[in-house]
């Protein structure tokens, strides 16, 4: 059983005080020490899933792992992933710079994205990013122009949309024809011809695709591999090339609720390699880019309960319980209708309480700021600390200062030790970049 199939971090337990602990750290103590909301990241869980991936593909040395940085990109996370032998898929100058400042060999970095700016491209070239995933005609021309100005040759992959609609939320599907990402298969010959005959500073190494996120249906990956290999064979034959790299993206799902049943990483490995072995074409280098499945299970978020209210809807009582965070530190429920599991941290104190169905609401001024709609818990009271599981991916990375609220801190836990890896924002941080023109000053 791989780590992405766990709902909670693998070190989660109830300690002798009757409190939930993760990484040997009492969550009630963490809430008291660092305040809430608080992101907590379990190092053992994070390293565990990295090793699950490496072990699953150990018999297939052609496969290289790259972490999809957009899931969660902090300096400490980058250091851990680098130690575990992962490269990095980046989509912005901020991610590139974070990876660079964390001491990563930049040849292991790919720059991806559908609208890279000149400034971002220049930074990536100056920092010697190893690969560009070229997404569109505009980018190919711009990248070649900048590379020519800098007298550089740039290794590139072509980002393709293979026409696969995986069964996931429409906002996180990326491989279907109607997508903002990549070249569709009818455009491949045109862009390849430009690269071969006109854009002399671009060196085409292979193709890249990504079909979506939170995927449970492994056949989608087999279909993707089939399409990409056939496209490589066709390109090689038509343009007399020898493309030797194929990046199949990531997207493996995780377990957010008890009902979720994501595939094991080993099953993913079997499907991908079986699909590759059906073809005679040799692909010396194959990249895999897991993101959510690497970081999500390792993270939880702690909140403190505040106000509550009950409403009577058609003779049915509904109770709202509000916490001190919400859509600004976890926008996924309001964006994707994402579902989560939560528990009270002080298990022993809750054991005598009557269970009731409650809706956990956020503190932000939006009716849609609901973290969990109707979950059964021992009756929450003001001051209780709640733990929401599986929040490592796309929570901090998508967090905002909506309502001018400070972003939470993040701590890394391991062997009963906790370390701040992202500081809690202060009120001064919120106004740091504000400026009042002289004409408005008193």
Please give the model's pTM, rounded to 2 decimal places.
0.94
Strands (E), 7-149: 13-14, 20-22, 25-26, 38-42, 63-68, 87-90, 109-111, 131-134
DSSP 3-state assignment of 104?
coil
Lowest mean pLDDT: which of 85-99, 163-177, 204-218, 320-334? 163-177
CA distance 36 to 33: 9
**42-295 CATH choice from 3.30.565.10, 3.30.470.10, 3.20.20.10, 3.40.50.1100:** 3.20.20.10
What does the DSSP 8-state code read for residue 431? T
C-alpha dihedral (182, 188, 190, 195), degrees to nearest 10? 80
CA distance 130 to 99: 13
Cis link prior to 224 (omega < 30° from 0)?
no
Query: Could you tell me where the DSSP H helices lie in 136-245?
Result: 137-149, 188-197, 219-239
Cα dist from 399 to 72, 171, 395, whole Å: 11, 17, 6
pLDDT in tens, 122-174: 999 999 999 999 999 999 999 999 999 999 999 999 999 988 865 543 433 44
What tokens does 37 get?
């909301």
Residue 233, Cβ density class (10 Å: 0-12 exposed, 13-18 middle, ≥19 buried): middle
Selected catalytic residue, list 73, 166, 261, 365: 365
365 is catalytic: yes
Domain ranges of the chain: 42-295
List residues bridging with 380 in a β-sheet. none
pLDDT in tens, 322-354: 999 999 999 999 998 999 999 999 998 888 899
CA distance 74 to 397: 9
Instruction: Return the closest-CA partner of residue 323 out of 31, 21, 42.
Output: 31
Can you say whether residue 16 is alpha, beta or left, with left for phi > 0 and alpha for psi between -120 and 50 degrees? Answer: alpha
Can you say whether residue 378 is alpha, beta or left, with left for phi > 0 and alpha for psi between -120 and 50 degrees? Answer: beta
Mean pLDDT over 279-292 rounds to 87
Q: What is the pLDDT of residue 175?
A: 41
Distance of CA 416 to the CA centre of its chain: 26
Q: What is the pLDDT of residue 259?
A: 94
Query: Could you tell me where the DSSP H helices lie in 150-264?
Result: 188-197, 219-239
């Amino acid at each position: 059983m791989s780590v992405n199939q766990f709902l909670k971090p693998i070190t989660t337990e109830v300690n002798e005080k009757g409190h939930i602990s993760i990484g040997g750290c009492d969550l009630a103590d963490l809430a008291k020490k660092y305040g809430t909301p608080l992101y907590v990241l379990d190092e053992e869980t994070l390293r565990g899933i990295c090793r699950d991936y490496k072990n699953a593909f150990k018999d297939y040395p052609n496969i290289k792992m790259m972490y999809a940085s957009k899931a969660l990109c902090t300096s400490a996370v980058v250091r851990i992933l680098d130690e575990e032998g992962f490269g990095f898929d980046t989509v912005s100058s901020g991610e590139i710079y974070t990876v660079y400042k964390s001491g990563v060999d930049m040849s292991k970095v790919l720059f991806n994205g559908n609208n890279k700016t000149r400034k971002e491209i220049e930074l990536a070239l100056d920092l010697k990013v190893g690969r560009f995933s070229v997404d569109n005609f505009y980018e190919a021309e711009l990248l070649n122009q900048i590379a020519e100005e800098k007298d550089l040759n740039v290794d590139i992959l072509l980002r393709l949309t293979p026409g696969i609609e995986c069964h996931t939320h429409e906002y996180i599907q990326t491989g279907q024809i109607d997508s903002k990402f990549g070249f569709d298969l009818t455009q491949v010959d045109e862009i390849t011809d430009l690269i071969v005959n006109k854009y002399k500073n671009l060196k085409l190494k292979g193709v890249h695709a990504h079909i979506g996120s939170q995927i449970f249906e492994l056949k989608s990956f087999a279909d993707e591999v089939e399409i990409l290999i056939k496209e490589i064979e066709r390109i090689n034959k038509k343009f007399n090339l020898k493309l030797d790299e194929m990046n199949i993206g990531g997207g493996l799902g995780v377990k957010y609720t008890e009902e979720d049943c994501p595939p094991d990483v080993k099953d993913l490995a079997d499907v991908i390699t079986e699909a590759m072995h059906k073809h005679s074409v040799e692909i010396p280098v194959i990249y895999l880019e897991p993101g959510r499945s690497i970081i999500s299970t390792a993270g939880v978020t702690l909140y403190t309960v505040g106000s509550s209210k009950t409403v009577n809807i058609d003779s049915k009582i509904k109770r709202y319980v509000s916490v001190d965070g919400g859509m600004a530190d976890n926008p996924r429920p309001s964006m994707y209708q994402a579902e989560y599991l939560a528990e009270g941290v002080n298990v022993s104190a809750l054991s005598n309480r009557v269970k009731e169905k409650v809706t956990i609401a956020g503190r932000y001024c939006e009716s849609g700021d609901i973290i969990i709609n109707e979950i059964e818990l021992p009756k929450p009271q003001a001051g209780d600390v709640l733990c929401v599981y599986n929040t490592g991916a796309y929570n901090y990375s998508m967090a905002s200062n909506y309502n001018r609220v400070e972003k939470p801190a993040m701590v890394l836990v391991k062997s009963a030790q906790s370390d701040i890896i992202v500081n809690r924002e202060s009120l001064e941080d919120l106004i740091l970049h504000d400026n009042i023109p002289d004409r408005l000053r008193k």
